Amino acid sequence: MNRTAPGYYPLVPPSCARPGNPASAGRRWLLQGAAAALVVPGLALAPGLLRTAPRSPCAPHAPDAVLVPYPWSLPRTLWVTRPQAQESVRAVYWADGRLQPEGYAALNHIYRDLHADAQHPIALGLLNLNFALQSAVHALLAPRPLVLLSGYRTAATNALVGGTRRNIHGRGQADDFIYEGLSLLDNYRLARWFQVGGLGLYPDRGSLHKDIGALRSWVTPGRGR
């Protein structure tokens, strides 16, 4: 594979980030939705799941990289299921250079606080992060939905589930999720290379937390954040 082909760019680990480095640029692409495509280095999924490319020049000691194209110029669609509500939606939330009201409303609805039956606008940066991650899952494995376990939370619901006082879920900037068909560890490894904010691993629940807040990571057997 040609890593110098137009539209392909490497996303490297945070340890390799520095001014002008693709890791820093990757955060801007995902949060702002600029056109890009990424090489994902260092994934260690089960044998046979990955298409490999040469090692990243920025992380020479990392395992082989994976070339994953992202058609940012095309409409952005998210496929999300919500087991607790027995709901599923495939929504185009961005097309023709602008947010699509109908698709965006559908995602806000499925991301709602189920306890309070309340909605809040979900951050575009989180949707773009989900689009990039889901595109990688589709390219590396097969099309499958993001299984959404927690989206927006009111302050009352956040306290009920033992969330932190910051309640980044309450700002529409976080979700708890999993992709079925991948082990929990493989889910984490994949999400780790798309991390632009918080990333939490919850082994007892078999799920992950991600957000577009401050860059941080944690593993806990306790309740979600």
Encode pLDDT of 148-189 as tens digits: 999 999 999 988 887 777 789 999 999 999 999 999 999 998
Domain boundaries, position 90? 76-219
The pLDDT, as a whole number, for residue 208 is 96
Considering the domain architecture, whether residues 63 and 85 belong to the same structural domain is answered as: no
In a domain, 132, yes or no: yes
Considering the domain architecture, whether residues 186 and 144 belong to the same structural domain is answered as: yes
Considering the domain architecture, whether residues 22 and 100 belong to the same structural domain is answered as: no
Residue 118 pLDDT > 60:
yes
Residue 140's pLDDT band, with cuts at 50, 70 and 90, is confident
In a domain, 3, yes or no: no
Considering the domain architecture, whether residues 174 and 94 belong to the same structural domain is answered as: yes
8 Å CB contact between 78 and 134:
yes
Is this prediction's pTM over 0.85?
no
Q: What tokens does 160 get? A: 């009920």
Residue 222's pLDDT band, with cuts at 50, 70 and 90, is low
Considering the domain architecture, whether residues 169 and 185 belong to the same structural domain is answered as: yes
Residue 104 pLDDT > 50:
yes
- For residue 167, give every residue at least 6 positions away whose Cβ sits within 8 Å of its Cβ, in sequence order, or none: 153, 155, 158
Considering the domain architecture, whether residues 169 and 211 belong to the same structural domain is answered as: yes
DSSP state of 74: S
Considering the domain architecture, whether residues 54 and 90 belong to the same structural domain is answered as: no
Residue 37 amino acid letter: A
The tally of domains found in the chain comes to 2
Distance linking the first and last C-alpha atoms of the chain: 40
8 Å CB contact between 198 and 125:
no
Higher pLDDT, 223 or 149: 149
DSSP state of 118: B
The pLDDT, as a whole number, for residue 158 is 86
Q: Which of 83, 133, 135, 127 is nearest to 106 (CA)?
A: 127
- For residue 163, give every residue at least 6 positions away whose Cβ sits within 8 Å of its Cβ, in sequence order, or none: 153, 169, 223, 224, 225
Considering the domain architecture, whether residues 98 and 133 belong to the same structural domain is answered as: yes
In a domain, 22, yes or no: yes
The pLDDT, as a whole number, for residue 52 is 32
For 96, left (φ over 0), alpha (ψ -120 to 50), or beta? left
In a domain, 1, yes or no: no
Segment 28-73, tens digit of pLDDT: 444 443 223 344 444 444 333 333 333 333 333 333 344 445 556 7
Considering the domain architecture, whether residues 127 and 196 belong to the same structural domain is answered as: yes
Can you give the length of the chain in residues? Answer: 225
CATH number for position 150: 3.30.1380.10
Q: What tokens does 205 get? A: 């629940």
Instruction: Kindly compute the dihedral angle of the four CA atoms of residues 113, 119, 124, 127, in this order, to the nearest 10 degrees.
Output: 40
Residue 178 CA neighbour count, 13 Å, CB half: 15
Q: From the CB of residue 12, how many other CB atoms can be counted at a distance below 10 Å?
A: 27
Considering the domain architecture, whether residues 81 and 34 belong to the same structural domain is answered as: no
Instruction: Calculate Rg over the CA atoms of the chain.
Output: 17
